Amino acid sequence: MLNFNDITATIDEPRTARMEQRTKPSVKAQIQQAAALLGVDDTTFITSVGLERARATIADHERTVLSAEDREAILAALDSPPAPTAGLREIMALHRTQLSASRRGEARDA
């Protein structure tokens, strides 16, 4: 029997959420065979493996990995930002106007 680490075993909460899915008979058979080889039931196997993959997917989407070249380009842009364009100056002036109007409204309401 192979070693299996149930990563859900350390989660301290009751098992009250339910999940169901339909699958092909050959997929179910392979999952059951893998679970049996590891000495765990189907639910433990699917939940643990699914959670492991979910965590990896979430981590991959929460992190951005840059090449050394991209990192240097970003740091250079931060060190020497380009001058603001006319469009940027215009939108920032509009933002300041709206922010001032909003603050005047808050002062009047207080």
Where do the structural domains in the chain lie, given as residue ranges?
Answer: 1-63, 68-109
58 SS3 class: helix
Report pLDDT for 104: 80
Q: Digits of tens for pLDDT over the chain (110 positions)?
A: 568 888 888 899 998 999 999 999 999 999 999 999 999 999 999 999 999 999 999 999 998 889 999 999 999 999 999 899 999 999 999 999 999 888 887 656 55
The CA distance from 3 to 11, in Å, is: 20
- According to DSSP, residue 7 is labeled T
- Distance, in Å, from the CA atom of 110 to the CA atom of 104, rounded to the nearest integer, reads 10
Residue 102 has what pLDDT? Answer: 86
Q: What is the pLDDT of residue 5?
A: 87
Residues whose CB is less than 8 angstroms from the CB of residue 41 and which lie 6 or more positions away in sequence, other chains included: 35
